[in-house]
Amino acid sequence: MKWVYCISGLGADERIFQHLQIRGFALKHLRWIQPLSGESMKEYAYRMCAQLPEGPVILLGVSFGGMMALEMAKHKPTRRVILISSVKSSREMPPWMRISGRLRLNRLAPARPWKWLAGIENAFLGAKTPEEKKLAGEFRSQVDREYLAWALQQVLTWQNSWQPPGLIHLHGSGDHTFPIRNIRPTHTIAGGGHFMVMNRAGEISRILEELLNKSD
């Protein structure tokens, strides 16, 4: 069996991949680890690679997980790197994120989920069904605050211009977190939102199945 090593989005876990099925491949979720004091994203990515086997691997990252997959690919040989609902560089981020990062605005508010913002956040994510809203709520309630503060800082200040050969980037035309007008994906999912790895999993699975089996 061939493996695809999956990295979930900020605060999420392996349940985000529960509807993804790629014929001929098994999915293995890489768990987020606790950041060390003052640790850079580069240093963190190197420690994340300890969960990978020897030899070239296939990495798949969603949202912040896609950014992490790119950083890990700088330390680890890869057969393919797959981004879903993510960005390849700071230039693909919406302007408000880049400005927030430069001004360190994330430090002005405590890094914790606010219950009264849940409806807005669900709409922003594209979580529409009861299952998706419940899962998004559980992600918010269970996320570690120290990790959340560190991860938000990394997202807003991330600088990258490197891409591995054969990068696959799937992005939804309805993504509100990372609007597609700023992004040049290899594949566009019409109407897909930021949660499309769940609610458009069938379409995404078929695309990845074709691409990975063709290149294998």
**What is the Cβ-side half-sphere exposure of residue 3, based on CA atoms within 13 angstroms?**
14
Q: What is the CATH number of the domain that holds 68?
A: 3.40.50.1820
Token digits for 161? 């211009």
Residues spanned by the domain of 198:
2-215
pLDDT at 119: 57
Number of Cβ atoms within 10 Å of the Cβ of 174: 15
Three-state secondary-structure class, residue 78: strand
Question: Is the C-alpha dihedral spanning 183, 189, 192, 197 positive or negative?
Answer: negative
Estimate the share of the chain in helix, then strand, then coil, as percent rounded to the nearest 5: 45, 15, 40
Tens of pLDDT along 91-137?
A: 999 887 876 766 565 554 445 544 534 555 666 676 777 787 787 77
Grouped pLDDT means (10 residues each) for the chain, 216 residues: 93 90 96 94 97 97 97 97 96 81 55 50 70 78 84 90 95 94 96 93 96 80
Overall pTM > 0.85: yes
Domain tally for the chain? 1
* Contact by Cβ (8 Å): 22, 76: no
pLDDT at 106: 53
